[in-house]
Structure 1
Amino acid sequence: MIVTYLVLVGAAVLQYGIVLTLVVIPLVIACYYLLSSWNSMRRSQMPIVVGFLASFICLILFVLGVNYLDKFDSAIIFVLAYSISPPLGMLMYVSNRFGEMIKEVRTNAQQVLQLSEEKREQALNQQKVLEAEVDKQTAELRNTLSDLKATQSQLIQSEKMASLGELTAGIAHEIQNPLNFVNNFSDVSRELIAEVSDERRKTNDERDDELVNELLSDIDQNLEKISHHGRRADAIVKGMLQHSRSTSGDKEPTDLNALTDEYLRLAYHGLRAKDKSFNAELITDFATDLPVVKVIPQDVGRVILNLITNAFYATQERAKSEGVDFKPKVEVSTSVVGNTVEIKVKDNGNGIPEAIKEKIFQPFFTTKPTGEGTGLGLSLAYDIIKSHGGELGLTSKDGEFTEFTITFHQLI
């Protein structure tokens, strides 16, 4: 192809001259490439091509007609046209190119705006869906919370009823003792009265006045004992009524020794009423110099009852597993430590594993089998002691013992 091209160039030089050949041949080549790439050419590139073509045309016309240009002005026009055609083409190219760029930018901007609008609408739709889902979840959570509160109230009431049941069992045992005394002394007194009546029916010579006086003295003593045990039963009933009332929230000076001893006996007799075979060694160590503490007796009594009942339960469970060789023991003590008063309840049951010590005061956590505990006893006890400004602590060794300590800081 190169050889052919050189032959054509040589022929053109011989036929038309070197100047015309150097002008025409590049023009022909440019036109060839222009036509071959016309379809792929941008519109903005066309002016520059046209400008260069115009320049070449002017140059050709100038060369061909140089002998005919007799006027200087005509030559200048051709030279000027030849000179400014490429710059004009470049200027038109730049102008059109800027126009294309602006159009592209505008098109892209419109696409971006359209896309942004679609994204915004999509985001709004998603937000509405999320808001609806959040509202739905919130409503479900409210319902769940309401159900949980209702369940919690029922469980708390169940725990109170269980505590009241233990208290009632102990009270029933406590009342049974004075009632037995009243019945026994009443029967004996009736027999004594019958003997006195028999003596009074005798004649003066047969009557033993000394015996009558002894019988009357025995009857008087029996009546005094009946009165004493009747008052004891009355006090127990009044105490039961007091503990069955809801808490008033008023603190009052309280003898913690008496309160602890009372609930110790009630807890023990309550457990004995359920299981006649149960027995445990009770060790009490009450400080004689214990000051009066201002508390709500009903609430603190519930705490003491719960701790002692748990202690008996722990020793009972260990006794079941170890048999007759194990000796259940529960120790209850009070003491003054600095400016505080402490009540301690210790048992030699199975103890509490280290892994669950942190959970022991959590609501609904229990180590008892299903149906035997609500998991609220210690949680309520903890809250009650905290509301008194005190502390409820735990010390335990797995397999050996558990000790709860109630500490009151506010002394009278």
Structure 2
Amino acid sequence: MEVKELVREVGQKAREAARELAYLSTDIKNKVLREVAARLRSERAYLQEENEKDLALAREKGLSSALIDRLTLSDKVIEGMAQGLEEVAALPDPVGEVVKMWRRPNGLWVGRMRIPLGVIAMIYESRPNVTIDAAGLCFKSGNAVILRGGSEAINSNIALARIFQDALKAHGAPLGSVQVIPITDRAAVNELLKLDEYIDLIIPRGGEGLIRFVTENSRIPVLKHYKGVCHVFVDRYADLEKARKICFNAKVQRPGVCNAMETMLVHKAVAEKFLPDMCEEFRSAGVEIRGCEKTRAIVPWAKPATEEDWDAEYLDLILAVKVVETFDEALDHIARYGSNHTESIVTEDYQRSLRFLREVDASVVMVNASTRFNDGGQLGLGAEIGISTTKIHAYGPMALEELTTLKFIVFGEGQIRE
């Protein structure tokens, strides 16, 4: 079968499944998710055997140890996938929830009901655990999902999809609910991006290059998350010990993720007191500091920052540091260089914290907290499928509710419009 025909067939099956999924009972959905979790554990040897095929090829190609680590379905990763599905099964089902109702003067009751988006296509790289995470969230929220992982994980992804489909079959749920594109031909991605008659939303998850390619070539709405250029602003009214802990955690706890701090802004009123010890602590943790001229006047060993540093998502132990003259300069810097991901202020001034919350445009804005908390699980949403940095239709971590939309419902008693 040609690539175009194969992808279209997958799309048709997903669209058909989406109709049935929209009214599938919560009980059946939860049983399927728990069944998949059980099968992941019982078929661990099979999964790791298929995963080893991908790992062997990755080693042959000379992929980095970091990439190989992301590819590996270790016992811990498999158990994490299983537990994740059990957690999703335990979450409230958003589908069918009536958000609010109001009565019109003519007696009509008008309301809004939560419904699935329909068919979602996920295009992602490296990590095969995304296959299960995305499938579980989409299924619980009543959406059919088409999964197109990276070629480096093809055997692992097909094996994971088979386990999910076995569970669907066991409980009479539509098999088109969860499908993996079973080929590595890059033309499959281009064909997916044309299927606007079948697919309602594309979610790319990976590097900026992948996301830009998908956005530029898709006929279908794309949930975008280009990069995470996250700031922590240490205000003149900050508790400096609190600021030290927050900034260190935001940069060092896990530097290679999108919600890690990439630029630290420090008000000039506290810079001389705060920066020397803070930067020494960073240096002891292996962090390279790239500072503005005012920063380097206080921390002479810091490397000079260039214009490119303010816009950089390092995903590494590198930190840009800038001393700002005023609160407004900090806001202006974030507005110019931020990526609408996560921004935080450390301050004990209530009015300034409120102003920061109101005026900073990001999917999550924080006061006195590490940027590392921008995560569905950390915010109490349960698992997430990704973080949206665009405002249509969701902004921030996309959990179950964000994988639905609202339709209007109306109850009448025979009213007609005059």
Q: TM-score normalised by the shorter chain: which range applies? A: under 0.3
The structure with more radius of gyration: 1
Give the structure-2-normalised TM-score: 0.21
In terms of fraction of residues, the more helix-rich structure is 1
In terms of fraction of residues, the more strand-rich structure is 2
